[in-house]
Amino acid sequence: MDPFSLASHAALVTGSSQGIGLALALGIQQAGARVVFHGKDTPPPTLPPGAPFLAGDLLAADGPAHLVTAAFAQEPALDRLVCNAGSFFDRPFLELDAATLERTLNLNVRANYFLVQAFARELVARRRPGAVVIVSSTNGFQSEADATAYDTSKGASVMMTRTLAQALAPHGIRVNGVAPGLIRTPLNAWMTESPETVRHYEKKILLGRIGAPDDCAGAAVFLLSAASRYLTGQIIVVDGGLTTGQIARM
């Protein structure tokens, strides 16, 4: 049997209506899994025909638990979870208010924490092993200008991956992470559409290009598959070498 196949599995991928989340969900589906897609509002036309889609606001206090309940109702064999939903709301540090910080932490950290908790409770009740992937960012390891709230949330996501891996290992649930670098998404279009900025990053990224969303899919598929059965608490950085070198090429 192909250890990278997900043919016998079912996955919920949050924030999978666009960008990295959509690419992860499609990659997981291509690896054979049945995938439940998720977004805040209505399903986008980019979803595969007939794909199950759940709408839900993860900023709502009961949003994560409701989403997990609905996902198990849609796909009772669910045993894989990708926590991808998140966003960036920053302003310069001296201008950032409490509401913006709380919104960032609630979506990028709190929602994922309780998503994993609700998912794990369902698996434990069914005596079913599983695997979780938490999408963090290279911002969880290296700071970025005018991104204090986002950087803080992604640093928390890195530690959350590790501590939840320890908490859930006795139940046969693995928790790992994917940390994308600079990837072309609707969220950072202002950065990736500027020719000057693109040239700057292409000199810094060892592989010489800004990433595409589907560059992240293979890492997620690997971490959800039997090929990574002895990995937990690990984070795969997917950044084309952006964070490897110190000084950009001239």
What is the largest distance, in Å, between two alpha-carbon atoms of the chain? 57
In the DSSP assignment, the letter for residue 142 is S
Marked catalytic residue, from 17, 137, 153, 228 = 137
**To 10 degrees, the CA torsion angle through 81, 127, 76, 106?**
-40
**Backbone torsion region of residue 240, taken as left when φ is above 0, otherwise alpha when ψ lies between -120 and 50, otherwise beta:** left
Marked catalytic residue, from 16, 136, 153, 154 = 154
b/e per residue 197-210 (b: at least 16 CB within 10 A)? ebeebbebbeeeeb
- How many distinct helices (H) and strands (E) make up the chain? 8, 7
**DSSP bridge partners of 36:** 12
DSSP SS3 for 110: helix
Marked catalytic residue, from 17, 150, 157, 225 = 150
Is 17 among the residues known to form the active site?
A: no
56: closest CA among 76, 71, 78? 71
* Residues contacting 36, CB < 8 A, separation 6+: 10, 11, 12, 13, 52, 53, 54, 71, 74, 75, 78
Is 136 among the residues known to form the active site?
A: no
Is 201 among the residues known to form the active site?
A: no
Place of tokens 């992604």: 154
> Could you give the residue numbers annotated as active site?
137, 150, 154
